[in-house]
Amino acid sequence: MKKLLAALAMTTLLAAASAVSAQEARLGYVPIPDHPVGKGSIRFAELVSEKTDGRITIETFGNGVLGNEPQMQSSLQGGFLDVMVGPTSNLVGTIPEFLIFDLPFFYADFDAVDAVTDGRVGDTLFAKLEEMGLVGLAYWDNGFRHMTNAIRPINTVEDMAGLKIRVIPNPLFISTFEALGTNPIPLPYPELYNALESNTVDAQETPVGLIYSSKFYEVQDHLALTGHVYTPYVLLASKKWFDGLAEEDQKRVMEAAQESAEYQRSLSRDDADRLTGLLEEEGMKVTRLSEEEMTKLRDAVAPVVAEFSETIGTELVEQAREDMANDAN
């Protein structure tokens, strides 16, 4: 009888442990499901399910149905949401070092970006997320940001003067576009299309993937390929949710995050040129500034880079420059 009771007790404990290890999680993001972020999120969910033999299932929610990015980040920190994708710009209010991804004209190309995100700087920044109740799973691609507007083509720095441009609500973006002579207006992304449609703002600046998927060509006539800032997306988990996973499942979630990052980055970057062509087909007039004008843009924002490098920490900024230089060699 004692052996039978012990066996029953063990069965009950194993069943309880199995129930605890089974996890149903929610992942939120703002772009549409057909955007590379949507496809990357779906791929991440598939990989997690595969690697954990179905113990962890992740349901994805796009189109901002779980809130805008700051709202989802708050939910993540409170443990009410499990996983999200959003730009690093939303993290700078608490961790100013993340401003390194908003420095204008800091990254020459994708290789330079990857040298920073996948190197010492990227690891240092992810380590700081714990104090926010977050876990950094992977850096995803958001593409280089470009400007669109409904007023005039942009071929020179002077063409930007006076444009009311929506920017990400963070101080570096505001200072950058003030330096370029525009009138920056911070707005959450889900409010942007209506603001453009109602002429509350004249212009906006996002990567071509968002310009196309959000159909900004319906309310914007001109696209200037300035590539002024590279701001990555990050795949974030709630520390409360992540810490509740078994150690082995934590490793498998991290593996899935890295594999989904490779998939999402490739998808996003391969799409950039094609989407620019599609935007032209939709009627947008695309301009590419001369190297002389691009130099003027860099010169105009150089004081902003210097100022915010102090905020970020000059040691971290120099570390990023070293890693980019080493990668180029």
Are residues 86 and 203 part of one domain? no
Are residues 121 and 32 part of one domain? yes
> Is residue 45 situated within a structural domain?
yes
DSSP 202: S
What order of strands is seen across the sheet that includes strand 23-28? Answer: 56-61, 23-28, 83-87, 233-238, 134-140
In order, the DSSP letters of 140-189 are: E---B-EEEESS----SGGGGTT-EEEE-SSHHHHHHHHHTT-EEEE--G
Residue 171, Cβ neighbours under 10 Å: how many? Answer: 17
> Is residue 56 situated within a structural domain?
yes
Give yes or no for residue 47 having a pLDDT over 70: yes
Token digits for 245?
């996973």
- Number of structural domains (the chain) is 2
Residue 152, domain extent:
146-230+274-328
> Is residue 42 situated within a structural domain?
yes
Are residues 268 and 124 part of one domain? yes
> Is residue 122 situated within a structural domain?
yes
Q: Tell me: the pLDDT tens digits for 141-184?
A: 999 999 999 999 999 999 999 999 999 888 999 999 999 999 99
Give yes or no for residue 4 having a pLDDT over 60: no
Cα(319)–Cα(120) distance, integer angstroms: 8
Cα(213)–Cα(35) distance, integer angstroms: 6
Q: Tell me: the pLDDT tens digits for 186-234?
A: 998 889 999 999 999 999 999 998 899 899 999 999 999 999 999 899 9
Please identify which residue in the block is written with the tokens 């007790």: 9
Q: Where does residue 199 rank: exposed (0-12), middle (13-18), buried (19+ CB within 10 A)?
A: exposed
Give yes or no for residue 1 having a pLDDT over 70: no
Are residues 279 and 156 part of one domain? yes
Are residues 215 and 138 part of one domain? no
Are residues 167 and 290 part of one domain? yes
User: Is the pTM above the cut of 0.75?
Assistant: yes
Are residues 123 and 28 part of one domain? yes
> Is residue 8 situated within a structural domain?
no
**β-pairing verdict for 56-61 and 146-149:** unpaired
Q: Tell me: the pLDDT tens digits for 123-139?
A: 999 999 999 999 999 99
Segment 256-264 shows an average pLDDT of 98
Q: Where does residue 283 rank: exposed (0-12), middle (13-18), buried (19+ CB within 10 A)?
A: exposed
Are residues 198 and 92 part of one domain? no
Are residues 302 and 181 part of one domain? yes
Please identify which residue in the block is written with the tokens 């442990």: 17
Are residues 223 and 115 part of one domain? no
> Is residue 315 situated within a structural domain?
yes
pLDDT of residue 22: 55
- Which 3 state secondary structure label does DSSP give 235? strand
> Is residue 283 situated within a structural domain?
yes
> Is residue 75 situated within a structural domain?
yes
Q: What is the 3-state secondary structure (H, E, C) of 19-83?
A: HHHCEEEEEECCCCCCCHHHHHHHHHHHHHHHHCCCCEEEEEECCCCCCCHHHHHHHHHHCCCCE
Are residues 297 and 224 part of one domain? yes
Are residues 186 and 129 part of one domain? no
Cα(250)–Cα(244) distance, integer angstroms: 9
Query: What is the domain-level CATH number for residue 184?
Result: 3.40.190.170
